[in-house]
Amino acid sequence: MDKLSVMQAFRRIVERGSFARAAEDLGVSPALLSREIKLLEESLGTTLLTRTTRSMSLTDAGRLYYDEATGIIDAVTQVETRIREGAGAVRGHLKVNASSSFGQTVIAPILPEFIEAYPDLRLTLSMDDRVVDVVEGGFDVSIRIRPVMPDSALVARRIGTMRQRVFASPAYLKATGVPQAPAEIAGHKIVGFLLAGHLTSWTLTGPAGTTTVDLDPTVRVGNSLVLRDLLIAGQGIGTLPDFVSNEAEARGMLVRVLPDWELPAPEIFAVTASRLGMDAKVTAFLDHLRAALRP
């Protein structure tokens, strides 16, 4: 028995004073309504309506049930109305998760404008270089950078693509020489990214096709911002995503090694737990983020 539907039917019967008129309003047969009310009375163990061929009246229990059911139905209606009215509003608490490097270099710069645009929104940005459980962490969206997203119950929407290239400082290359081919990289000091799938093996694509270089990084770190700073300090050669390398390269602090070669381009995914679509606050945030990712 759908209790809320039965409550609504009972209310309509009382207010219309007739099973027939209530049935017409609800688009069902009077016999069906009569059967539902009988089942309701049986479940409650009492009579709610006394009926004769000419009249119908509420018992004391029926009056109590009517009053309480009316309050419940009105409360549910008010909640539904508030939710519908607020469905397109950017308000509430938005919880975002991202890696430290992406959070600091891409998300942080867009936050002031985003926060000012939506003053009714509360925001939590959690940064973690390891993959977190979106559901357990209570996050509305997690930004993940992967070549592909594994199959799971989560929903991954691609919002951009990054480029992954090889870098070193001018001072390091001046001291050690500039590699002229991928195979020559193995003879250099390597700074590796612990959480990358290419920590000890770089697959590079360039003018001569695709080649794989096996490596044994001298230094291994779990944060690409630290990796960038080590490269700037002349500690070796390493790979960086463009959102981490762009500024250092523009300022001449890093230069590309084998500029015609690069690693496979990972995708940037927005991961959510629900397949029912994103709410307004997540949509607004991702719109801001997509704009920041455009070339």
Write the CA distances from 278 to 83, 97, 98, 112, 175, integer angstroms: 14, 16, 18, 22, 52
pLDDT of residue 206: 93
| CA dihedral for 13, 15, 21, 24, sign (positive or negative) | negative
Phi, psi of 125 (to 5 degrees): -110, 115
> Tokens 């195979």 belong to which residue?
183
Q: Which residues face 123 on adjacent strands?
A: 94
CATH class (in words) of the domain with range 92-156+275-293:
alpha beta
pLDDT tens readout for residues 79-126: 776 666 555 678 889 999 999 999 999 999 999 999 999 998 999 999
Q: What is the CA radius of gyration of the chain?
A: 32
pLDDT of residue 75: 85
pLDDT of residue 1: 60
pLDDT of residue 18: 86
Ordered by start, the domain boundaries in the chain are: 3-86, 92-156+275-293, 164-256
The answer to whether the CB of 143 falls within 8 A of the CB of 268 is yes
Alpha-carbon gap, residue 7 to 3, rounded angstroms = 6
Q: Is 269 helix (H, G, I), strand (E, B) or coil?
A: strand
One digit per residue, the tens of pLDDT, for the chain of length 295 reads 688 888 898 999 998 888 888 888 888 898 998 899 999 889 999 999 988 777 788 999 999 999 998 889 888 887 776 666 555 678 889 999 999 999 999 999 999 999 999 998 999 999 987 777 787 788 899 999 887 766 566 788 889 889 999 999 999 999 999 999 999 999 999 999 988 888 899 999 999 899 999 999 999 998 999 999 999 999 999 999 999 999 999 999 999 999 999 999 889 999 887 655 568 888 899 999 998 888 6
CATH class (in words) of the domain with range 3-86:
mainly alpha
The answer to whether the CB of 167 falls within 8 A of the CB of 283 is no
Can 92-156+275-293 and 164-256 be said to share one CATH topology? yes
Fold of 164-256: D-Maltodextrin-Binding Protein; domain 2 (3.40.190)
Write the CA distances from 265 to 95, 204, 205, integer angstroms: 27, 11, 10
